[in-house]
Amino acid sequence: MLFGIEWDTSSHWAFAVSIFPILMKGLVVTLQATAVGFFIAIVLGLVLAGLKAARLKIISWPARFISEFIRDTPLLVQLFFLYYVLPEYGIVLPAFMTGALALGLQYSAYISEVYRAGIESIPATQWLSARAIGLSEYQIYRFVVLPQAVRRILPAATGQFANLVKDSSLLFVISVPEFTMQAREVNANTYATFEAYLPLVFGYLLLTLPISLWSRRMEQRFRYEH
């Protein structure tokens, strides 16, 4: 019995069709968690990149330590910490927000490096030319550096987005009803392994393959324009 329903598993294809709506609900949750997590990663990544680029070591060193700490600890451990440890100190978040936050924190460290690489790829002559005509630091970033850096970081950022989609499958460990958890529930209650996990494989493939192909296309286009 699954979700209060007795399922007939005698016909493999009929059963696969019958569980399709359940898996799709999980897929929607996966997309939602991915979107929220990537938004957090983009914003926090930009903040981290700015702090790491600060001239004052009292600002840049802690930011670099935080970035390295996040990158060097597994996402699974971070999920457990946010979901099980923080409530002991009065910080209780719903499972979905905990999962999205963990994804955002994990990938903010990687995105910050993408930002850094994009900014550092701008030739020094452009910085000097911008200062020579009297632009402020804000104007240099706003009108000279960022428009070029954003175009250059798109392929790498897109690749990180594809990785985030795949890592969202770990959210089942804190009971987020995403794609993987729904497939596991179907398998656990019906023992229909093939019908439960085959859509899972193709579902993630359909999500990540277009992103990966677009990322490669952007890389080739950038190399051609460069």
Q: pLDDT tens digits, residue range 59-102?
A: 889 999 999 999 999 999 999 999 999 999 999 999 999 999 99
Could you tell me which CATH class the domain 12-225 is placed in? mainly alpha
Tokens of 192: 């229909």
CA–CA separation, 10 and 192 (whole Å): 10
User: Which tokens hold the place of 221?
Assistant: 């286009």
| Rounded Cα–Cα distance for residues 55 and 194 (Å) | 56
Query: For the chain, which residues make up each domain, given as ranges?
Result: 12-225
pLDDT tens string 180-208: 999 998 888 888 788 888 889 999 999 99
* pTM summary value: 0.85
Q: Is the pLDDT of residue 116 over 50?
A: yes
The average pLDDT across 149-163 equals: 86
At 85 the pLDDT is 94
Give 3-12's long-range contacts (Cβ < 8 A, gap of 24+).
7/189, 7/190, 7/192, 9/190, 9/191, 9/192, 9/195, 12/192, 12/194, 12/195
Helix, strand or coil for residue 2?
strand
Task: Give residue-wise pLDDT tens across range 92-109.
Answer: 999 999 999 999 999 999
Q: What 3-state class would DSSP assign to 19?
A: coil
**CA-based nearest residue to 218, from 142, 146, 145, 160:** 160
Q: Express each pLDDT in 160-187 by its tens digit.
A: 999 999 999 999 999 999 999 999 988 8
What is the b/e burial string over 128-155, where b = at least 16 CB atoms within 10 angstroms of the residue's CB? eebeeeebeeeebbeebbbeebeebbbb
pLDDT at residue 12, as a whole number? 59
